């Protein structure tokens, strides 16, 4: 199988909603549908993929605001993040209003994820690693066979996740998670982030000023 990947920036915050699908079976998944659900549905239709799962890296409204609506319209369950983000998923509507963004809905996943779980995204196996600090329940998805991961708001091209968005942020915890869970990956391990362009572990190891 060939794993196909599409990135769709959504909401005014241009959060990277990721679509993954197997080009043979067309089984697919959406990661972090933060909003603009009609655009996500149009992208799913364009790929021809059969949506099997809606996955969340963490509970911030720009990543999870469209999950409940997408699940309702497709009948596909929301999975993740780790349960430490339950309070954030329950505050999506209120937080969105503070940022001037409406339309997001509070969300209760069908399944919480935990460190070491393995999930299928687009027919491929992805290891779940719990990397808190940006939020308490943040997870990342890693496919070791293809050397590719989805980092959410933990690691960026040239930056790392913010820890000043609430009293739950923890810089020391975030950096420890990056060191032990991500920088142990091979240099050629590529990834997408929650915002902006993707990168690789080797590039960030060499040039990311926060590391």
Q: Tell me: the pLDDT tens digits for 8-63? A: 999 999 999 999 999 999 999 999 999 999 999 999 999 999 999 999 999 999 99
Residue bearing the bigger pLDDT, 122 or 163: 163
Q: What is the mean pLDDT of the chain?
A: 97
CATH code, domain carrying 99: 3.60.15.10
CA gap 183, 96 in Å, rounded: 33
Secondary structure (DSSP) of 139-191 = EEEEETTTTEEE-TTSEETTEE--S-SSTT--HHHHHHHIIIIITTS-TT-EE
Partners of 53 in beta bridges: 29
CA distance 126 to 141: 6
- Predicted pLDDT of residue 102: 87
- Place 123 in a pLDDT band, splitting at 50, 70 and 90: confident
45 membership: H or E segment, kind and range: helix 37-47
Q: What are 62-85's pLDDT values in tens digits? A: 999 999 999 999 999 999 999 999
Mean pLDDT of 107-112: 98
Structural domains in the chain (count): 1
What's 99's DSSP letter?
A: T
The pLDDT value given to residue 1: 66
Residue 127's φ and ψ, nearest 5 degrees, are -75, 140
* Domain encompassing residue 174: 3-207
Which pLDDT does position 101 carry in this prediction? Answer: 87
177 or 101: which carries more pLDDT confidence? 177
């Amino acid at each position: 199988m060939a794993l196909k990947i599409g990135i769709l920036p959504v909401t005014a915050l241009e959060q990277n909603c990721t679509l993954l699908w197997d080009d043979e079976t067309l089984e697919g998944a959406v990661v972090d549908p933060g909003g603009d659900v009609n655009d996500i549905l149009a992208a799913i239709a364009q790929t021809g993929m059969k949506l099997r799962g809606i996955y969340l890296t963490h509970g911030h409204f720009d990543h999870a605001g469209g999950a409940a609506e997408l699940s309702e319209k497709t009948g596909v369950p929301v999975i993740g993040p780790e349960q430490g983000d339950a309070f954030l998923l329950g505050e999506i509507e209120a937080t969105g209003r503070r940022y001037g963004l409406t339309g997001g809905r509070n969300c209760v996943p069908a399944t919480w994820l935990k460190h070491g779980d393995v999930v299928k995204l687009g027919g491929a196996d992805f290891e779940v690693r719990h990397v808190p600090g940006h939020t308490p329940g943040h997870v990342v998805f890693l496919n070791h066979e293809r050397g590719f991961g989805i980092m959410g708001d933990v690691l960026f091209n040239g930056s790392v996740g913010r820890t000043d968005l609430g009293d739950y942020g923890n810089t020391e915890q975030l950096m420890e998670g990056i060191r032990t869970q991500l920088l142990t990956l091979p240099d050629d391990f590529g990834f997408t982030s929650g915002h902006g362009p993707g990168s690789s572990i080797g590039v960030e190891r060499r040039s990311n000023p926060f590391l």
